Amino acid sequence: MKQLIENGLFGSNLFTVNTPVLANRYRECQRRLLIPETRLETFQIDKMGWSPQIAEELDKDDYLCHGFANPVAIILTIEQQKCSVHFPFHTFDVELLESIYETQREAIIDITTKTGICVDVENGMLDYGSPTDLLLFRHFQITCSTPNELLKLTAKQKSLITKFLSKEEAWMDDTIIEDLITSAKEIGDIRRRKFQLTTMPFNVSSFYTRAFGGVFVLREPLQTQKQTGNDARKREVLVVKESGLTQLAEEEVEILSLASSNLISRLLALGFLELEESYLKDNIDMIDEKLIDILAHFSTTKLPELDFSSMDSIGLKKFVIKHKNRIPHIYYELQKIRNRLHAKSRLPKLSKPAKAMLVYPSTHLDEVCKRTLHHLLTEINPIDILGMYRYNKSKFYSEYLKFNPTQKLWANHMILKRYKLK
């Protein structure tokens, strides 16, 4: 991971907990959420409060949950809003957390001066019994609390203030005044502080979850279903990594295997993916990048002694000519497609591998659904390192550890070149 860290591709978007006060607040939240406590005094956390160091200490990546149906989060500072989510349970975790930081920003800023915040995500289910259970919910309730009695004491002080202001000659009531003084000593004067957290709704459409070995829940937005006149039941599809789960399909639920050779064709037929010639003509650069990706994968895995990342255009031509009989056929098919698009000629019939590399999420879908489909496509196209880094970081980091030195060098070079770091 050294190169990734040096290039700002790993660990740069984490908040460092390096004071006893913050470390203790994190442990208080862990106790409140009934999850194992860390003994570390210095560690890093992401937007959700997940820590790679604590995960390693506990030997449990999923320590911030009580089963996939019940994830939790820990907020120590508003600075976590700037962080990324390094180990998401679902693809919508970023939006869910962002909704908390945005709608309760002032409360988070004030409350975290005194304590941490515990976040519980509730969907009405204690556990998922079957992949089809994932279709039963579109709504979550997000409950934020503190590990101590800060919110309870805040409500008490507000009640005392209201009582003091509404009662005639309250300034003469020693009991009320003494209670107010005691409350102020406990939590300070809250009249200008935002010590109140509200329960929030959160709606979901399409998403990926790591439950059941990995499941994609694909749903068209309701407004799109109304516009196109499609039956909503036919627009809900599960794509599973474990092929045996397809046997759990029900009459109104279609379950597809990620390993199926017909997956792309089926998702095209259902309207989740598109493959339009006009789009390809407008995005020929995308095909150029895929051609490079094919050569890079071939070079770094079959000829690891070569430094592919240092090759210029002349070197690439020489490389292709020299190894033309070993380079995968898909390279030449995509090259032919690219040349025909440039010449504005009609495209030939595409092979399944070519379709798998060129399809893209349907343009009419919402951004959440598109991102879920991009994630799915990285599972089908393992040579798409940039897509994996952008949409499937946990898999990227896992695969990166298996890369040989040349593959790691190429991955760093290519991501820095193509990916706009935020």
Q: Say whether both 225 and 182 belong to one domain.
A: no
Q: Is residue 313 part of a domain?
A: yes
Mean pLDDT, residues 32-55 taken together: 95
17 and 141 in a common domain: yes
316 & 332 share domain: yes
Neighbours of 106 (CB within 10 A): 12
| Longest CA span, the chain | 97
Name the token pair of 361. Answer: 């999420």
CB atoms within 10 A of CB 188: 16
* 58 lies in the same domain as 44: yes
30, pLDDT greater than 90: yes
Q: Are both 345 and 312 inside the same structural domain?
A: yes
Q: Quick check: 323 pLDDT over 90?
A: yes
Quickly count: other Cβ atoms within 10 Å of residue 87's Cβ: 19
DSSP string, 75-132: ES-GGGGGS--SS-SBTTHHHHHHHHHHHTHHHHHHHTTT--EEEEEE-S-SS-SSGG
- Confirm whether 201 is domain-assigned: no
Q: How far apart are CA 15 and CA 81, in angstroms?
A: 10
Q: What is the pLDDT of residues 368-389, one digit of tens each?
A: 889 999 999 999 998 999 999 9
- Looking at the domain assignment, is residue 192 inside a domain? no
Q: Is residue 260 located within the same domain as residue 390? A: yes
Query: What average pLDDT score do residues 337-342 get?
Result: 93
Residue among 357, 402, 408, 363 nearest 378 (CA): 357
Is 304 within the bounds of a domain?
yes
- Which pLDDT score, from 0 to 100, does residue 66 have? 85
> How many Cα atoms sit within 13 Å of 274 on the Cβ side?
11
Does residue 22 carry a pLDDT above 80? yes
User: Is residue 197 a part of any domain in this protein?
Assistant: no
pLDDT tens by residue, 247-286: 666 666 788 999 999 999 999 999 999 999 999 999 999 9
Q: Is the pLDDT of residue 208 over 50?
A: yes
Q: Containing domain of residue 352, as a range? A: 207-418
Task: Verify that 139 and 163 share a domain, yes or no.
Answer: no
Examine the pLDDT at 228 and tell me if it is beyond 90.
Answer: no
Tell me if 4 is assigned to some domain. no
Q: How confident is the model at residue 191 (pLDDT cuts 50, 70, 90)?
A: low
Asked if residue 226 is part of any domain, the answer here is yes
Tens of pLDDT, residue by residue over 71-103, are 899 999 999 999 988 888 888 898 999 999 999
Instruction: Round to whole Å and give the CA distance between 72 and 143.
Output: 10
- Token pair recorded at residue 153: 């004491």
Does 128 share its domain with 217? no
Q: Do 264 and 318 touch, CB atoms closer than 8 A?
A: no
In a domain, 156, yes or no: yes
105 and 24 co-located in one domain: yes
Top-confidence residue, 298 or 145: 298
d(CA 81, CA 97): 8
Count how many domains the chain has.
3
User: Is the separation of the CB atoms in 89 and 44 below 8 Å?
Assistant: no
Same structural domain, 94 and 242: no
Confidence grade of residue 223 (pLDDT, cut at 50, 70, 90) = very low
One domain, residues 164 and 139: no
- Same-domain check for residues 407 and 391: yes
In 33-79, alpha helices (H): 52-58
